[in-house]
Amino acid sequence: MSLFGFSSDFIIDRVTTVDNMFINEYLPGAKDGNVKVYIYGLFLASHGNVNSVEELMRVLGMSYERVFEAFQDLELSGLIEIASQNPLEIRFTGPASRGSQAKKRYKPEKYAEFNKALQGLFHSRIILPNEFLEYYDFIEKNRAAPEALLMIAAHCINVKGDGVGFKYVLAVARDWARAGVTTPEKAEEKIKELELLTGDVKQVFSALGKKSPPEFSDREMLSKWNKTWGFSMSAVLLAAKRCKNKGGMAKLDAVLESYHKMNIHDPREIAEYAGRRDRLYSLAAEINKKIGVYYESLDNVIETYTVNWCEMGFDDDALMTLANYCFLKGLRRLSDMDALVVKFYKMGRLTTNGINQYIDGLIKDDEFIKKLYDALNIDKLIGRADRKFVSIWLGTWGFSEEIILSAAALAKDVTHPMERINQILSDYKQNGIFTPEKVKDYMKASENAELLLKKLYDLWELNQFVTQADRKNAGLWLGAWGFSEELILFAAEAARGKSYPAAYLNQILSDYKQNGIFTLEKAKEYSKTPKPSEQKKSAPRNFTQRKYSKEELNALFDDLDTAESEL
């Protein structure tokens, strides 16, 4: 008979399968050699030709007693079933049935003393069998000493009373096991530590305004604050006073966690931060009130806006000034104020004085824009584009209000007057015109140019609007080139009938300028002088004509007759 076999729910298909439940729950705490016995037993059961305990002992180098001890441990864990001892027969159990079988494999005599001691702790009730099984399961899985679990149970009864449930005891036991508390010595050390914390927890409760007795979880929490996060009792009590009647230990835990993340542990640092936090709360509330918004909780407001504004360098007065400006301009959202704050930050205006100077400038600009609107007979609200125009005219380009208003007089009756003013001022800027005197001279020159063009158009019989290019040329002829109107009209006669008379006239006047002709007399004299191009066209072609003798002519015609006959 084979030593090993399989239950019906354990399937192997030409591989040695080790399930995840075995790896996760049993393997970490397994005794030396037990894993070897289990895995090689699986191999023999599925692939071994020699399926016997002797083969297992030979390959693994173990005695019969050690192999059988391993089988007993594996059976207690629900991994196998010892179907027979003589002859020895082992059956592997599958994951599906292992959970229920595991709690049925504990031998009563193994935990007899533990059962008696545990029941002795609970005077008011009987411990049920399934509770004992849960305790056994914890001991086996965590390799914990039964005495350590008894000490944990006694501690829980001392804290919670005789009616404490087994789930609470096991929750504490598992938490301690994760910290390595699985022996009586370590359990005693942990309990003493928590008892010392009881007085400290009562102080924290007093600071929080709590009157209920401390629980185990409260002492665990204080231990975490002290040992894991590094807060002294002074720091904890300082933070607790700020959380009084505001959520108890959970609120204090959240506050200390935030301090810990910001690396704030010293009581002085906490006091400084708390004072700053109070100021931020007060400032956020005042800003919200000023612009007309309300939030039940200011935490998100402070984190999203207020802290960032202060870190940019704005003081409280500067931010309140901006909040007041938002109120006056109808900006009723914090996002609107945030955009305004960023704008002033980019301009470097972080103080109340700097902000007020800029706002006063905007008010002054708006007052001037109203004057412009009156001069242009415009009745509308001031727009962003017009503010930008005026800001550039007064600031970047450096024009006075007087010059701008004079330009407005020229744009009064056009469709888009502000754009026309911009064109006029751009022309002034290009020509260096920034004073009223220069404007008058420029306007006089422009008027003369318009009159000249009217005469030229009449001369050329043109029925069209004056073009900007012709205005520019007329100003050039009369201004920079220094020609008189009389001389220009004389030259214009030659351009009559041309496809582009203004361009033709410009060529003539350019020729005059190059030849130093600036009077009518010189122009008339110059017009009678043949130009090099005309001389070249009228010059006769000189060449010598060859003379042929009669004999040469006859010979030429004879050659032609010969060529025709050959064709």
- Calpha distance 449→245 (Å, rounded): 87
Higher pLDDT, residue 67 or 219: 67
41-58 pLDDT, tens digit each:
888 887 655 678 888 888
258-295 pLDDT, tens digit each:
888 888 899 998 898 888 888 889 999 999 999 999 88
Q: In this predicted structure, which of 142-156, 200-214, 341-355, 386-400 has the lowest mean pLDDT? A: 200-214
- Calpha distance 166→207 (Å, rounded): 32
- Calpha distance 133→99 (Å, rounded): 12
Residues 34 and 120 in one domain: no
Residue 300 forms part of a structural domain? no
357-412 pLDDT, tens digit each:
988 888 888 899 999 999 999 888 888 899 899 999 998 999 999 999 999 988 88
Residue 243 forms part of a structural domain? no
Residues 75 and 156 in one domain: no
297-321 pLDDT, tens digit each:
888 888 889 988 998 999 999 999 9
Residue of 302, 254, 255 lying closest to 276 (CA atoms):
302
Q: What CATH number has the domain bearing residue 27? A: 1.10.10
Residue 267 forms part of a structural domain? no
Residue 410 forms part of a structural domain? yes
Residue 463 forms part of a structural domain? yes
- Calpha distance 495→483 (Å, rounded): 17
Give the residue from 78, 102, 126 where a domain finishes. Answer: 102
Residues 464 and 392 in one domain: no
Give the residue from 135, 161, 182 where a domain finishes. Answer: 182
Task: Tell me what the mean pLDDT of segment 153-172 comes to.
Answer: 87
pTM confidence score: 0.38
Task: Tell me what the mean pLDDT of segment 110-134 comes to.
Answer: 88
pLDDT at 8: 43
pLDDT at 102: 46
Residues 445 and 379 in one domain: no
Q: What is the CA radius of gyration of the chain?
A: 53
Give the residue from 419, 434, 449 where a domain finishes. Answer: 434
Residue 555 — pLDDT band, cuts 50, 70, 90? low
Domain count, the chain: 4
- Calpha distance 322→151 (Å, rounded): 65
What the block records as the tokens of 280 is 């931020």
Do 306 and 316 touch, CB atoms closer than 8 A? no
183-208 pLDDT, tens digit each:
999 999 988 887 777 788 888 988 99
Which range marks the domain in which residue 496 is found? Answer: 439-538
pLDDT of 461 above 50:
yes
